[in-house]
Amino acid sequence: MEKLSRLPRLLSVFFFFIAFLLLQSCTELKFKETTDETQNVTEFLRDNEEYSLFLEMLDITNYASYMNTYGTFTVFIPTNEAINNYLKDLGFTSLTQVPIEDLKKVVKLHIMDTKYTTASFTDGKLFNPTLLGQFIITGNTVVNDESFRTLNKEAKILISNLELGNAVVHITDKVLSVADKTLAQTIEENPELSLFTEVLKATGWFEKLNQPLTFDANKEGSFLTVLVQSNEVYNNTQWTNPKTEEKLTLNTLENLKIRYSHLGDPTNAADSLNLYVQYHVIPKLNYLADFAITPVFETKAPAEVISSKLIGGKIFLNRDIFNGVLEPGFSVDRPTSDLTCSNGVLHSVDANFTIIKRLPLPVYFDLCDQPEFANNTANYRKPGGVKFGLRPGSFKDVTWWVGSGTTYTLDWAYSPTAVNGDDLRPFRFRLGTGINDLEFTTPVIIKGRYKIWVSYRQNDRANANLRVFFNNKITSRVLNMRERPNNPFDTQAGIPDNVLETQGYKRYIFPHVQNDLQYSRLVGIVEVETTGRQKIKFVSDQGSGSGANDADRFDIVEFRPVEMDQIWPKFRKGLPVPGQSNLVPKPAPGMPEN
């Protein structure tokens, strides 16, 4: 009986002990929104007093909680000293005095939703914009024999590549400036561009370049790129009037009107002075990094284009060879270019230029040059990059039809034997049960007649009957990707390049390597009726038994004017080298050509 009487008391002690443990457990339980214990950006800032002002900026703008969630961000964090200098420049003593909308813009300019380490930095624009929609320009500078990475030509990176749970962080010595002036305002406030400003106002283009940014239904912004000329350039430009034989220096608006305004009304879009300005304006946002890789740009002048070449790290415009004669063109001044404005970007050139009637120019279209592929900064054009693919609807300029395999992807793959070190691999490129009707939008191609060469890697399981369409018109030859040119391996004693060309083949990689199996096939001659971007489509007529995984591998598609040498220049294989063209000119006489 005595033992039974003690039982309730023992049970009560037991349950009290259990309750105590549960209470302790509850008080210590904390939830994190990340998948590991690594600090997120907000936590990092709270633990590092030297960046407390940036944390205050996040708190004021309600971005602190956003930066404490799971993500893959890049964050440029100014030091407290940098933010105090920013406040001093504004005439404020605290962040609470800064208008909230202005502070939000500053915060968003310092955050990107893609991870970028300095290994991905180049001397130019980072591929993805910030949360503000403006781009970051990276570069290098040397101060007191010490090299620094720079951002937007104004801030130095003091500490780089801090890996946090949701971001890569870079510490900077300055707050980045928000581009809040339009193209017109930025040009006008520069005294070295006073004559160019006068020309813009005389033609009505000042108002057009002063318009705020707008977006269309496809979320395409009304960005413009403007090539400006300084007063010094105009002071060094002379012209002889054929009517009076008077030599004029084109350093006044009146002299520019005499030279270019053939209708006497510069506001008329058909007047030559107005067309002169139109030729200085390029649609969309184009930084120097874009000029380095894009051979031809449309301008606002109807059907007129500007060509671009990267030579020895310098960008030349309209530097082309016609009828064996080199037109030197002009170059872009790097230090005064890549100037971001609220509605576009400015570049300075070192010479006066006007419209040149263009003959056809070659276009070398690497099918892997797609911004959606480039978003994968961890693998895209990185040594040993891991293959990855994107599903239908992921691309802006690539479309395809899929049968039952609606999840089949268009794959990027590292390929050291291909141009730029990569090739394009449609997953099961075949009729009915895979990708088909694969259509690409090309870069700008100038009006004229062209031969189309499609480069591929030979594979016995690839498509043997691939039809090619240019602007919805079928070309004269099908593409058999199982086929090899006659005697392809014996490059010294075998068939010469010019003989292969007569068979509709060529070796497009230099030097040619026997076991790379990289070939180029002529698929037809086409007429480009209007200068601009065109469409090229590949259609498979084969079902099962062809188009196995990774069997179809595409590289470069070349559009060469029919009058041009179809063999040279050739291409280097492998990843691109900064400052080096991937084109190889024809060797000097007596040198091996394979």
Surface-to-core class of residue 380, CB atoms within 10 Å of its CB (0-12 exposed, 13-18 middle, 19+ buried): buried
The helix (run of H) or strand (run of E) holding residue 74 is strand 73-78
Under CATH, which number does the domain 183-349 receive? 2.30.180.10
For domain 363-584, is the CATH number 1.10.3720.10?
no
Task: Please tell me what DSSP assigns to residue 196.
Answer: H
Say whether 233 sits in a helix, a strand or coil.
Answer: helix
Low-confidence ranges of the chain (pLDDT < 70): 1-37, 322-324, 403-406, 486-494, 514-515, 543-548, 590-594
Predicted local distance difference test score (pLDDT) of residue 25: 42
| Tens-digit pLDDT profile for residues 438-495 | 999 998 888 899 999 999 999 988 888 899 999 999 999 999 999 887 655 555 446 7
Distance CA 80, CA 84 (A): 6
Predicted local distance difference test score (pLDDT) of residue 107: 96
Show me where the domains of the chain are located: 41-172, 183-349, 363-584
| Tens-digit pLDDT profile for residues 78-103 | 999 999 999 999 999 999 999 999 99
Distance CA 10, CA 53 (A): 57
Predicted local distance difference test score (pLDDT) of residue 8: 53
Let me know if the fold of 41-172 is the same as that of 183-349.
yes
The CATH label, of 3.90.105.10, 2.30.180.10, 1.10.443.10, 2.30.29.30, for the domain at 41-172 is: 2.30.180.10
339-341/330-333 β-pairing: unpaired
Reading the block at residue 158, the tokens are 């003091």
Predicted local distance difference test score (pLDDT) of residue 589: 74
| Tens-digit pLDDT profile for residues 266-311 | 999 999 999 999 999 999 999 998 898 888 898 999 888 898 989 8
Predicted local distance difference test score (pLDDT) of residue 532: 80
Distance CA 263, CA 226 (A): 24
Q: For residue 71, what are the CA distances in angstroms to 48, 115, 142?
A: 21, 9, 33
Q: Name the pTM for this structure.
A: 0.66
